[in-house]
Amino acid sequence: MTNRSLAATVVLAGFLSAPAPVGATEPGLAAWQAEQMPGGTVAWRGGGLVIEDVGGSTIWWREKLTAPVEITFEATVVMAGGPRDRVSDLNCFWMAVDPRSGDAPFAGGLARSGKFSDYDSLFTYYVGYGGNNNTTTRFRRYDGTAARPLLPEHDLGEPKVLLEGNRTYKIRLVAKNGRAEFYRDGERIFTFIDPQPLKAGWFAIRTVRSHLVIKNVVIRKPAD
């Protein structure tokens, strides 16, 4: 997706319009590529992406993004007595690239299983919101190694920055002017000034052992 196309955002069926792969029957689901451990499901229901996960999943937005860019979406961690319902792990990657190739991280030969450690080799911005059984909210700038650096100021655990079941959050991810930012319901939770900013890459929803509903994804150039 080019900056020119980002300037004019078009939303279709709750998601930004994207090319559908051959054989796709659900236009909303066709905008995404799932990498998921056995036992989980990804579906399009009620105008949204529904993830019910067991062992880990990363659901990629198919289009490559170029900074400056802003990604917004609504997310709910479902607690309704289902077998996958757990208040934990509303996570995301953005501006993700695989150092082995200029292709998408989920392209043939690069695709991963959905297991969390499979993604250590990426360069990416990452937020684990309500991770570790909803005890931590963390920002990391992956450096392509298993280190997954974590600064003290990016390791939060106060209840006000953890998850609530069945609450719909508006999430905003930003990459612009060498900064990565994460907002929840209009509040900026993380800012990172990157000495080697990630200027282009892919966006994904990430979770494990939870039930998420993702709606109203919009990708556009941020306001000045």
DSSP code per residue over the chain: --HHHHHS--EETTEE--PPPTT---TTGGGEEEEE-TT-EEEEETTEEEEE-SS-EEEEESS-EESSEEEEEEEEE--SS-TT--S--EEEEEEEE-TT-SS-TTSTTT---S-GGGGTT-EEEEEEEEHHHHTEEEEEEEESSTT----GGGEE--GGGS--TTPEEEEEEEEETTEEEEEETTEEEEEEE-SS---EEEEEEEESS-EEEEEEEEEEPPP-
Domain boundaries, the chain: 3-220
pLDDT in tens, the chain (224 residues): 443 333 323 232 333 333 333 222 345 899 999 999 999 999 999 999 999 999 999 999 999 999 999 999 999 999 999 999 999 999 999 999 999 999 999 998 898 999 999 999 999 999 999 999 999 999 999 999 999 999 999 999 999 999 999 999 999 999 999 999 999 999 999 999 999 999 999 999 999 999 999 999 999 998 87
- What's the whole-number average pLDDT of the chain? 89
In this prediction, residue 21 carries a pLDDT of 32
In this prediction, residue 27 carries a pLDDT of 56
In this prediction, residue 16 carries a pLDDT of 37
Q: Which CATH number fits domain 3-220: 2.60.120.560, 3.30.710.10, 2.60.40.10, 2.40.170.20?
A: 2.60.120.560
In this prediction, residue 223 carries a pLDDT of 83
In this prediction, residue 8 carries a pLDDT of 28
The model's pTM: 0.88
In this prediction, residue 2 carries a pLDDT of 40
